[in-house]
Amino acid sequence: RHPEVKWAQRTDKVFITVLLPDSKNAKVNLEPEGVFNFSATAGTDNNTYELKLDLFDKVNVEESKINIGVRSIFCILEKAEKVWWKKLLRGDGKAPHYVKVDWDKWVDEDEDKGMFLYSLN
């Protein structure tokens, strides 16, 4: 079983939210090569949910943050290189059906560059 995953990005980071309410024993393992592993149990039958994502590029494991909450697991992954990814996963295929864009957190590449710059005029 795969939990639903939402993602968004900035030039320097990727946001991954694993939507799995009331999960137990949630574990996230992140590898520098860009491999994201997740496992947990959830539901009244304690079903096992597992996920392995081969991310588009490398990540900085030490700078990344993972927050395991009651309704979801929220991860901020620092990119190894500050570049815009064409997509979340490497390979030529389409993303699996359980991986969706998080439109609440999404910004376009051209909006991202000037997001924190303010005019002093």
First-to-final CA distance of the chain: 54
Number of domains the chain is built from: 1
Minimal CA–CA distance to 33: which of 77, 93, 68?
77
Sequence-distant (≥ 6) Cβ neighbours of residue 50 within 8 angstroms: 1, 2, 37, 38, 39
Minimal CA–CA distance to 56: which of 74, 29, 83, 20?
83
Range of the domain at 105: 4-119
pLDDT band, residue 106 (cuts 50/70/90): confident
Tell me: pLDDT of 108 over 90: no
Q: Give per-residue pLDDT as tens, 30-65.
A: 999 999 999 999 988 999 999 999 999 999 999 999
The whole-number pLDDT of residue 113 equals 61
Q: Model-level pTM?
A: 0.88
d(CA 6, CA 100): 5
Strands 99-101 and 4-9 come out as parallel
Domain containing residue 81: CATH number? 2.60.40.790
